[in-house]
Structure 1
């Protein structure tokens, strides 16, 4: 049997990658607002590395190049709630007082309030939730770490790796008085076991809310596909997931090689007007992040708990 040359094999592999990328590329345009729905967005914004060289895409210079695209994309989504992950500026040492992306976004988007945020020594700043102040009133907020000591700030994860956590905020709709708890998460991309244990902790923490009949939405970077065991734990806990169309992670190159890993889940009492969509925009040829934002339109109080 003739053995294919390395060049032919490389070309074949490239064609396969491009074909898969094309199949997964179908995200969708920004959908128009649905009547009465809350437009909920999740987006991993990627960390800023304060000490990185300027040619690093995640350096301060890199952020200055992509922040305009980030603002434009988020503005075009016309969201009521934006759950952001990796919104942190890293530097050597433990000082978390600098957060360039948070400050720049809040300055550029004055109609939004800032929830799930506070003094970094008391409230982790990496996963804020932005909300439309003319639509929503903030009632409460909090956090818990994916750890054996979840109520100790900056606890390391179950296997001792870097701290990871859930932030949450409770809102009331100024239009009709309905309330919604939003949980913003970022699960471990390396350790599947960490993801499973984190999902179990999330399930335990939201259980009292669901038992009380609260409306709950979970948004974030799960680093897990819709048919994964991680998602199964969350849906078994009482949440529902409709996977976004197409990929949500693109390697900062527009490569769409697998389904969405960024998701918006919701309780059965909350309706979903249409399938969520990963919105692919590259203003001025600049990717805002290595993730696309995922938009879902939710209607708390209009779900059907008789169907799972």
Structure 2
């Protein structure tokens, strides 16, 4: 009898120990995340709030909101950031410069560039013929994207339109304010800012939609892409579970931002990205997404191919290999 009781106690103790092991919390993982103030960071605001309350555990995020790609790049290269949201073509450039120590986790922002005017003269890309367009981003993705759309619609960017390149988006907004008949190519949220200054300003063309129209019928359609989320491969190899958890939490955050515009706008102001009034109006046009896997590779790979065709330096001199695209742990 004593032996039976001893055996029973030992069994209960063993089960208790196993239960304790099963209930043990995972060790916290510090994850340094960077994003630029604008659409590429706006999809993260629910994660940022959840992190403050500890709801993202065991991941413990340290978010850095930066002003430009010039600030993000050195922090990523030096290992001060583990995960970062940055321009799509910059990710390809860094993939080459960092000796392939980089993978794309997701597309986080599709095209945010629009043609706007105070009037009703532009209904299609063909209507841009003979027009003067104020734009910024010469030598970067806005120029390459516009050139592709113009050329595929039978217009020569050099002779059929007059593109006046400005240094900053704000200069284009000022040009629109000074000349009511002007046409401009602007990204969000600058479109919304300009519309708040001139209520008659309308979105004439969504360049992301124009790109998609040109891709219809293709086996692996690409997309016009603004931003992606990347991870350093050495961090990924050391912390695959933390990266997978980040992906789940980021996807949920994007869903929340897209479904709760007013609440998300308040968070966007809380984290000093944009004023809530501007954010609430701009959000529906910011194309914030979380596209992963094969669809990500098709859309991003095709986009980078178009940039490479115009200027190989735009993607680091060579197209990234398949290992550039993350497909899960």
Where on the TM-score scale, by shorter chain, does this alignment land: which range? Answer: under 0.3
More helix by share: 2
Please report the TM-score for the alignment, with normalisation by the length of structure 1: 0.27
More strand by share: 1
| Larger of the two Rg values belongs to structure | 2
Please report the TM-score for the alignment, with normalisation by the length of structure 2: 0.25
